[in-house]
Amino acid sequence: MRIISLNAWGGAMFDDLAPWLDACGANVLCLQEVTHTPALGGWTRFDDADRSLPQRANLLSDVRGLLPRHHALFTASDTGPVHDGRRDHRQDFGVATFVAESLPVVGIRSAFVHGDYTEHRDQWPTDGRPRAALSVRVHDRRARRFVTVVNLHGLRDPRGKADTPARLAQAERLAALVEDARRDDDMTVVCGDFNLLPDSKTFQILGDLGLTDLVGDADTRTSRYPKPLRHAGYLLVSDPSGVERFEVVAAPEVSDHRALLLDL
């Protein structure tokens, strides 16, 4: 089974992302920064006080079209205004997990690890935005086992990625979701853009659940990210002996984040 995690950057590099998605071979694809604008396609622009970024209007629909033989699961964390050059639209923002139809989906959970769903009426805030995690439990027929995969987009703080009380509370909520979603003998994978440093106490909290991080202090950003701090994405597993291959994918570049690829 192949599991891939990627912060898709709202599809800002969609011309590069689309052919990669078509060929990546993911059985379970975990995407963060997924957009959904009902009844709208093409491009929009996202703005907050710090940034102005191009985004796909409906990355969720775009990826569904590229992966028609995958189930699409989406959890919105918040909603706010975007622009298509003519008028404003309401765009949902969250995480999505795409599961190959050959894998029976036997359990789905989602939970907010920070805050709760919010409608931003006039402008997206620069920090403190709510964050949701999405769990899917599947049956791997070939390996004759169950696999629980948890997809996380962690709290963004413009002041940095160091631990804060909010991030520690986030870790506790994430751990509770993992415990609720998995069963005793499951291979468990927790992945995503954690927005943390490698020495975060989050990894101790998840380690108490028997989860081992495979990324460590590896560079998980691409050349599209100009800042010197290169830590963001992580992937943890409950049984490292079950890992056939793990790679932080440096090329091709399809986002400002590198994809994390795991073969079980």
Structure tokens of 187? 């291979």
Q: Closest Cα partner for 59 from 33, 30, 78?
A: 33
Say what percent of the chain tops pLDDT 90: 95
Task: Pinpoint the alpha helices (H) of 37-136.
Answer: 59-66
**Three-state DSSP class for residue 5:** strand
Structure tokens of 88? 């404003």
DSSP 54-67: EEETTHHHHHHHH-
179-206, pLDDT tens digit by residue? 999 999 999 999 999 999 999 999 999 9
Contact 234, 257 (CB under 8 A): no
38-79, pLDDT tens digit by residue? 999 999 999 998 889 999 999 999 999 999 999 999 999 999
**Three-state DSSP class for residue 194:** coil
7-31, pLDDT tens digit by residue? 999 999 999 999 999 999 999 999 9
171-183, pLDDT tens digit by residue? 999 999 999 999 9
Give the integer Cα–Cα distance in Å for 239 and 241. Answer: 5
Paired strand residues for 79: 92, 119
DSSP 213-260: ES-TT---B-TT--SS----EEEEES-GGG-SEEEEE-SS--SSB-EE
pLDDT of residue 50: 87
Give the pTM. 0.97
pLDDT of residue 236: 98
Structure tokens of 222? 């691409």
112-155, pLDDT tens digit by residue? 999 999 999 999 999 899 999 999 999 999 999 999 999 999 99
- Cα angle 25, 27, 30; round to 5: 100
Structure tokens of 252? 């091709």
